[in-house]
Every structure is written in structure tokens, then in C-alpha cells.
Amino acid sequence: MTTPSKLPLSVLDLVPVGSGTSAAAAVRRSVELAQLAERLGFVRLWFAEHHSMPAVASAAPEVLIAHVAAHTRRLNVGSGGVMLPNHPPLRVAEAFRTLEALHPGRIDLGLGRAPGSDVHATRALRAANGEYFPQLLSELLGWSGPHEAPSSAPELIAMPADAALPPVWILGSSGASARMAGQAGFGYSFASHFSPTPAAPAFDAYREAFVPSARFAKPHAILGVSVCCAPTAEEAEHLASAMDLAWVRIRSGVFEPLPSPEEARGREYSPAEQALIRQFRRLVIVGTPAQVREQIEAKAQECSADEVMIVTNMHSHAARLRSYELVAKAFA
């Protein structure tokens, strides 16, 4: 585990879409966050794959990765992640070999087993059941190195044939994939930004099972955290109220663009909804830069995280950029 003063920070971008704003504009603005993250010294930026969600415009991570990598110079860019059951492994191999050829040494391939969507989108994607994740992963890894192909399909060439897959990271939210990630010598990332399951047992299982590989000489565990940072505690609470309403809507099966704090403040919550908000707030770090740093460090130390990946969803694009800037300066 790194010491708090040297704790590497990264960004998870869901490309949030606020009410009254354009999803296309949110996609175009993604490069602004990436360039800011690079200037501030964040290690990497990942895009999550979600489908048919009006508040999330990161449906095509590989396209966003290509765009952002072309507009930055040092930042590692990747998927957090590609939901492998949604895609034929050959297609993933081709896309990420191409990205690696275009931006060698800067691409990460994060893989998940969840659908990242509702049942309608899953059906439209012709997605496989998550239980097939190990088999799909095994097939994908057949194209790991240049000129390699799976033994089950040696005649299939994933172009560009002389490029390799980027480093592979396994994403988890329950700990089920931790041992698999360790045994394969991959990186591992745990989604504490939406999962109430403690990360420490998963990280312990990952490290205990870890076998060094060509891409990972030692285990590397990333902790995902949700953060809302502002100059004052009062403003941070105001901004976070939008996510309170968004969480209530999601848990009720209502998917709409991210509400504004003003919309959230004008809403009266039932006792059951208030309980949902209390549950949600246990997953979110809200406060001033000093308060946020203290809580991030505590969470990282609790599970011995090697890196922390921050997701910040706000209605205001400017406030969201400022939140990342305040956190980075708090750790500087």
C-alpha cells in the first residue's frame, strides 16, 4: 500500500448528463475533464460502459478512449469497464489492439461481467449470461500477444496482428472475481462507489492469489470512490443533494437525466426515500477538500488500496471539474 501523501488518484468518467442539457454536449466535454486530470497529475481516466441510461452517456468506451487519448499526452486512458458478456471477444480484441497500436503504453482494458444496462438493452445487445464470463475472458486472452490467437480458433487473426492487448484489469463489486484476477496476474478494481460490500476482503483474496505476470510484476488494487467536493461543506451538501434524488429515482426504477440541486431541494421525500438516501450517503464522500482527503485516505488505508479512482457526478459541468481540481490540490 502507498502512503497517503503518495496515494495515486485516478478518474472514472460516466459522462453524466444533467437535466436540461445535451447528451451530445456531455460527450464532447469529456475531453475537458481528461485534459484537466492530466494537468493535475491524475494517473488514469476510465470510461464505464452503460446502455439506455439518460443520465449516462458513456455507452461506447472505446470511442471515448480513442478521442481522449488523442487529445492528451501522458494520461493512461481505458475502460472501467467493457462489459465482456455484451461483446464477442474478437471484437474487443480488435478494438483494444487498435487502441494500443495508436497509443502504445497508455491504454487500459478493464473488464466486467455485469450487463451495465437493463433487460431491454441486454436483449438488444444479444448479451451472454454473466456466468459465461470466464469462458469469454479465456477466449479474449488468446489474442493477448502479437500474432497470437486462441487455441480454439487459431485461424482467427485479431488485427492489427502485431499489436498486443493492453494491460487487463478485472472489475468487481462483490469480491467474486478477485481471486480470478490475482491468479491471472491482472490488475483489480473494486467499485465501492456503488457497492456497500467492504473492499478489504476482496483485496486480500486478490493479493493472496496473485501470480506475477508480464504486465503486473506485483498486485495493484484500485478502490473506486464517489466524491462530491466544494470549497465549503454547505456547498458540497447542496451539490450532493442532486445525487440523493438521482439515487431515489434509480432505486424506484425511474431513469432520467441527472437532476439539478434545485430540483432535489424542491422534492419532499417519504420516510422510505429518506432511508434510501441515508443508505446511499454511506457510499459517498461529501465535503471540503480537507474533509474529502481525510475520508479518502481512511478508506484507502482500511483496505490497503494501491490507488483510488474517483467518480464525481454533478449537474454542473463546471462544479464537477472544480471538485476534481480541489481534490487534486488537497493531495498535492
Residue 207 lies in domain: 4-225+289-331
Residue range 160-187: mean pLDDT, rounded: 96
In a domain, 262, yes or no: no
Residue 152's pLDDT is 87
Tens digits of residue pLDDT in 21-43: 999 999 999 999 999 999 999 99
Q: What is the CATH number of the domain that holds 44?
A: 3.20.20.30
Residue 5's pLDDT is 53
In a domain, 319, yes or no: yes
**Poorest-confidence range of 35-39, 119-123, 135-139, 214-218?**
119-123
Rounded CA-CA distance 318/146 in Å is: 42
Residue 130's pLDDT is 86
In a domain, 187, yes or no: yes
Tens digits of residue pLDDT in 200-230: 999 999 999 999 999 999 999 999 999 999 9
Residue 291 has pLDDT above 50, yes or no: yes
What is the reported pTM?
0.95
Residue 175's pLDDT is 86
User: What end-to-end distance do the CA atoms of the chain give, in Å?
Assistant: 18
Residue range 256-272: mean pLDDT, rounded: 96
In a domain, 320, yes or no: yes
In a domain, 190, yes or no: yes
Q: What is the full DSSP assignment across 253-312?
A: T---SBPPHHHHHTPPPPHHHHHHHHHHHTTEEEE-HHHHHHHHHHHHHHHT-SEEEEE-
For residues 229 and 323, the answer to whether their CB atoms sit within 8 Å is yes
Count of domains in the chain? Answer: 1
Task: pLDDT band for 168, please (50, 70, 90 cuts).
Answer: very high
In a domain, 276, yes or no: no
In a domain, 233, yes or no: no
